[in-house]
Structure 1
Amino acid sequence: MVVATTMELSRNLADLPFNGKDRDGPNLEVRRRVEEAGTALSGDYYAIDGVRLRPELRRFFLARGVLAGEGDRAFSIVSPGEEEMIRLGGEDHLVLQGTSGGWNPGTAQEKASRLDRFLEERLSYAVSLRLGYLSPRLHRAGTGLTAGAVLFLPALHQGAQGLPRRAKEGGLQGSPRVMIRALSGEEDLHPSLYRLTCRASFGESEEETTAELAALVERLVYYERTARDLLLRDHRQELEDAVHRALGVLAFARVLSRHEAMEQIGLVRLGAVCGLIEGVVLREVTNLFFAACDSSVVVFSEKKNENNRESLDVPRAGLIREMLKAAVGQDLPGAREDESAPRGGTE
């Protein structure tokens, strides 16, 4: 249910004004200093410059959350696999992000902290012994942490019959400082994908921020699990049929619109986590959500006319068919065998 955990640390440099509308002053100096410090990073980190990218590539990286801010200010230093990154171009001078698959805040926090320790030795942060790390917004001073998680909640989204009223009405409501929104980049992805973020308040520790997010994640996972149990109890046959039809569409369709692709990918992922199909690699299925976006199809198929959505439907289907092999293997997984059906062969 938890697709990924992210931990972000917002930092600003001591002797430069906070980010504003002036794009040619402090922003360029922040970038120069971060680029210079980044050359000492060990490993295969690479830089992504929003200014020099073609529009379709810029939208591609924006959709994946690798770039932030306006195109001519967006700049990132990224690790292989995009699990660690330094992003420029937002409200703060820089944001250090660590990402881990599933619900794993400790690992994600360590990745972000590793980047933080590395840069703090080479850059002068705006920090106060009394207030903590400084920010353009006073209430954000302190640890600068934003704890986040991406959740896949298809059963809760559609509202299974029999789900407690409190779960339907209050299941997606958090505290005032916890934001819950549809996961999106250039465009909305599957409506059952949600991003939850909890920003640290002044005077709050990193552990308290993470605990606040964890409490909401735990509640949503409980509601989603309850909704899935109800679906499997009351509508198992219909759900199993829809899941396998979706798998067939993705495996054999020659033309796929973005909307149809998203719908079918969501059904396949739901079927995999509910045990209705076997041998599915969830991470690869999740990648299909991003692959179905127009910007991804343009980048991977090298299409030039990205404004004509219909022209992308054929290469979109081909891209998904190819990527589906990594998710389910060369052979499509079949339905579970009926326990009452006669079996051939001998024991």
Structure 2
Amino acid sequence: MKRDADFDELARYRGEWMRGEGPESDIVISTRIRLARNLADFPFIRRCSDEDRLSIERTVRARMESLTDQRWKSAHYVDLEPLSEIDRQLLVERQLISREIAESDGSRAVAFDAAEGYSVMVNEEDHLRIQVMKSGLDIKNTWEQVNRIDDMLEEVILYAFHPRYGYLTACPTNVGTGLRVSVMLHLPALVITEQMDRVFRSMQRINVTVRGLYGEGSQYTGDFYQVSNQVTLGHTEADLLALVGDEVAPRIIEYERKARQALLKNNRDDLHDEVSRAMGILSTARKISSEETMHHLSKIRLGISMGLIEQPDVKVINQLFLQTQSAHLQKLQGRVLGTAERHARRASFLQHHLAGKDDATWN
């Protein structure tokens, strides 16, 4: 494994989950499946000493390095403790680590592949958080890949497992399979037509939770919403995969499609005007915040998906969603920026890329 990563280079490219491809990709940004696992020989993280956390990290790293599969040999392994705040935030923005592990203390790490299709967090809420991300609605392939990774790790790591209760986890709701199935959706039409409260209520009735772009506790930014199963205890992997992949995601997709059709039928001119205004603001603003940027990019992405505008390509918009975030912008600029300067550089970056130019000619 490579015990480092080029964060400047990382900031220049879209992550796997922002490719803008795959099934239902006009609405579904990505599919993510996460497994919570703990080592049998150590207490849960909240009861770990600093020495325990260090021992867990060293044990996991050594066991990963013993794996002969090429996917592990070419993977990056990053010690999070000495990283700068910006570098940790960059990994959060790319969905490779959670905000919780970025903001915690003590020995902790993450392993991820060059394509950013998977990551394994070490010493988050559980000793291991294994996750696979794919663009679009792709439950089957995402599950198959995360299951293979879990099997490989279980060959060299003794997990905490009870024959009756299943995999043991720090949070009781994760006990059993330790499985969290998440789908990230772009739902601007439901927001515009003020139907999101109805969606929230219907999800709560079937034990599905709705979160923002960066998971638990994050705000609903840019009309992005993550839906996932709320509990795993008492449910099989097949149950949870079917709940999110066959029942929840298709239902929300249908709601959004109907809302988009209604907007086109009843408010086409108003919607086209909103999309055009969003493009105008992003193309001419001298200063702009991350929140306002996300709001306007969301409108443009909707306009592209509904055929109201042809340019830019949706992949460019997806990349701008990512690269206009605070840490990405500062890495691309090559220095720490204050709030006012970030707003100015973000505006410049947007104008540059919406005009079809690339990173190399932006400064």
Task: Report TM bin, short chain.
Answer: 0.7 to 0.9
Choose which of 173, 177, 195 in structure 1 pairs with 2:207: 177
The amino acid that maps onto 1:300 is L
Q: TM-score, normalised by structure 2?
A: 0.80
Match of 2:270 in 1: 238
CA positional deviation for 1:250 = 3.1
Q: Which moved more, 1:316-325 or 1:203-212?
A: 316-325
Choose which of 41, 44, 52 in structure 1 pairs with 2:82: 52
Are 1:4 and 2:30 matched, yes or no? Answer: yes
CA positional deviation for 1:322 = 4.6
Q: TM-score, normalised by structure 1?
A: 0.83
Choose which of 306, 314, 325 in structure 2 pairs with 1:293: 325
Rg comparison, structure with higher value: 1
Q: 1 or 2 for the larger relative contact order (CA 8 Å, sep ≥6)?
A: 2
Gaps of 5+ in 2: 1-26, 359-363
Choose which of 225, 238, 244 in structure 2 pairs with 1:194: 225
What RMSD in Å do the two structures reach over aligned CA positions?
2.5
- Whether the aligned pair in 1 keeps the contact of 2:176 and 2:232 (CA below 8 Å) is yes
Match of 1:42 in 2: 70
Q: Which moved more, 1:225-234 or 1:132-141?
A: 132-141
Choose which of 309, 320, 328 in structure 2 pairs with 1:277: 309
Change (3 A) 1:181 1:273: same
The amino acid that maps onto 1:181 is R
Match of 2:158 in 1: 124
Identical amino acids, percent of aligned pairs: 27
The amino acid that maps onto 1:113 is N
Change (3 A) 1:260 1:168: closer
- Whether the aligned pair in 2 keeps the contact of 1:51 and 1:72 (CA below 8 Å) is yes
Match of 2:18 in 1: none
- Whether the aligned pair in 2 keeps the contact of 1:172 and 1:220 (CA below 8 Å) is no
Change (3 A) 1:107 1:320: farther
Choose which of 7, 13, 16 in structure 1 pairs with 2:42: 16
Match of 2:6 in 1: none
Change (3 A) 1:45 1:246: same
Match of 1:312 in 2: 342
Match of 1:212 in 2: 243
The amino acid that maps onto 1:59 is Q
> For 2:70, what is the secondary structure of its paired residue?
coil
Q: Which moved more, 1:177-186 or 1:225-234?
A: 177-186
The structure where helix makes up a greater share of residues is: 2
Deviation string for 1:182-233 (max 9, x for gaps)? 2137974624101112145323111111122231222211111111111111
Choose which of 179, 183, 187 in structure 2 pairs with 1:153: 187
Gaps of 5+ in 1: 161-166, 329-347
Distance across 1 between alignment mates of 2:356 and 2:168: 45
Match of 2:131 in 1: 97
Deviation string for 1:34-69 (max 9, x for gaps)? 211222352431122221211111122223332232
Change (3 A) 1:134 1:112: same
Change (3 A) 1:138 1:303: closer
Match of 1:342 in 2: none
CA positional deviation for 1:29 = 1.6
Distance across 2 between alignment mates of 1:189 and 1:302: 29
Distance across 2 between alignment mates of 1:149 and 1:232: 26
